[in-house]
Amino acid sequence: MIIVPIDGSQHSHHALDYAVTIALSLKEELLLLNVQPKNDEQSFSESNGMDRWPEEKLTKGKQQLSEAISIIEGKIPFETIIRVGIPSIEITTLAKEQQATAIIMGSRGNGPVVSAILGSVSYGVLHLSPCPVTIVPDRKDSL
């Protein structure tokens, strides 16, 4: 299983294109992962102690995955998952849980402001990952 983090950016879609090529050659399935940031003030605790997160996070995650799904549907077997948390931690935790063979991700996410505040997701994944990580540059940035 190859994990491809999808945040709706063109960078993640370029990484997805590359991941499809690699997965087809290795006969691997893809797992498209969308991570929504957790805002403590938006979540609340139910009586059973489980945190719930607002429906809009699920909706946003589905929207961000929908374009990616349209790119690969019918080309390769895939699954999707939406998680809430810190992207680098959620990506690498899922890689451990799924015993992923690789993570293929874009070099940048949805904006420099988020990266400046939270740090580089790709940097975090590179240092926490239990499996090989491929960072795909944006096509206009590549040689």
**Domain map (residue ranges) of the chain:** 2-141
pLDDT band at 2 (very low <50, low <70, confident <90, very high): very high
What is the reported pLDDT for 138?
76
- 110-137 pLDDT per residue, tens: 555 555 544 589 889 999 999 999 999 8
Tell me what the mean pLDDT of segment 65-72 comes to.
95
In 3D, which of 38, 65, 64, 63 has the Cα closest to residue 52? 38
What is the reported pLDDT for 107?
84
What is the reported pLDDT for 35?
95
Pick among 3.40.50.1220, 3.30.1360.40, 3.30.70.20, 3.40.50.620: CATH of 2-141: 3.40.50.620
What is the reported pLDDT for 73?
93
Strand segments, DSSP code E, in the chain are 2-5, 30-36, 44-45, 51-52, 78-84, 102-106, 133-136
Tell me what the mean pLDDT of segment 36-48 comes to.
57
pLDDT band at 41 (very low <50, low <70, confident <90, very high): very low
Between 35-44, 61-70, 129-138, the lowest mean confidence (pLDDT) is in: 35-44
CA distance 132 to 142: 21
Between 13-27, 50-64, 107-121, the lowest mean confidence (pLDDT) is in: 107-121
